[in-house]
A = this chain, B = another copy of it.
Amino acid sequence: MGSLNLNHSLKPDSDNLENLLDPEEFRRQGHMIIDFIADYYKTIEKYPVLSQVEPGYLRKRLPKSAPYDPEPIETILHDVQDHIVPGLTHWQSPNYFAFFPSSGSIAGFLGEMLATGFNVVGFNWMSSPAASELESIVMDWLGEMLRLPESFLFSGGGGGVLQGTTCEAMLCTLVAARDQMLSKVGRENIGNLVVYASDQTHSAFKKATQIAGIDQKNFRVIKTSRSTSFSLPPDLLRSTICSDIKAGLFPTFVCATMGTTSTTAVDPLGPICQVAKDYGMWVHVDAAYAGSCCVCPEFRHFIDGVEGANSFSFNAHKWFFTTLDCCCLWLKDPSALIKSLSTNPEFLRNKATDSKEVVDYKDWQIALSRRFRALKLWLVLRSYGVEKLRNMLKSHVEMAKTFEGLVAADKRFETVHPRNFALVCFRISPTAIDKNKLSQNRGAHFDDDDQDHDHECINDVNHKLLESINASGSIYMTHTVVDGIFLLRFAVGATLTEESHIFMAWKVIKQHAEDILKDYV
Say yes or no: A38 contacts B26, CB within 8 Å: yes
Q: Known contacts being A71-B385, A128-B88, A145-B66, is A37 close to B113, with CB within 8 Å? A: yes
Counting chain A residues whose Cβ lies within 8 A of the other chain, the interface size class is: 35 or more
User: Which residues of B sit under 8 angstroms from A366, Cβ to Cβ?
Assistant: 167-168, 171, 207, 211, 366
With a cutoff of 8 Å between Cβ atoms, the chain B residues found around residue A499 in the complex are 14
Q: Residue A443 at the B interface, CB < 8 A?
A: no
Is B379 within 8 A of A168, CB to CB? no
Question: Taking chain A's interface residues, is the majority helix, strand, or loop, or is none over half, making it mixed?
Answer: helix
A246 on the B face (CB < 8 A): no
A222 contacts the other chain (Cβ, under 8 Å)?
no
**Chain B proximity of A73: nearest CB distance (Å):** 7
Residue A368 interfacial (CB < 8 Å): yes
A80 touches B114 (CB 8 A): yes
Within 491-513 of A, Cβ neighbours of B (below 8 Å) are at 495-496, 498-499
Give the complex CA separation of A357 and B57 in angstroms.
12
Known: A14-B395, A382-B71. A23 touches B6 (CB 8 A): no
With A87-B128, A125-B55: A107-B20 Cβ-Cβ less than 8 Å: yes
A341 touches B207 (CB 8 A): yes
Q: Is A129 on the interface with B (CB-CB < 8 A)?
A: yes
Q: Is the CB of B106 within 8 A of A383?
A: no
**Shortest Cβ distance from A113 into B: residue:** B33
Residues from chain B with Cβ under 8 Å of A147 in the complex: none
Bound Cα distance from A297 to B387, whole angstroms? 58
Whether a CB of chain B sits under 8 angstroms from the CB of A307 is no
> Would you call A92 an interface residue if the criterion is a C-beta within 8 Å of the partner chain's C-beta atoms?
yes
Give A159-187 as 1s and 0s: 1 = Cβ < 8 Å from B's Cβ atoms. Answer: 00000111110010001001100000001
Q: Tell me which residues across on chain B come within 8 A of A325, comparing CB atoms.
A: 367, 369-371
Q: Can you list 5 A-B pairs with a CB-CB distance of less than 8 A?
A: A10-B394, A12-B398, A165-B368, A204-B343, A206-B343
The 4 closest A-B pairs by CB, nearest first: A213-B213, A87-B130, A30-B34, A37-B117
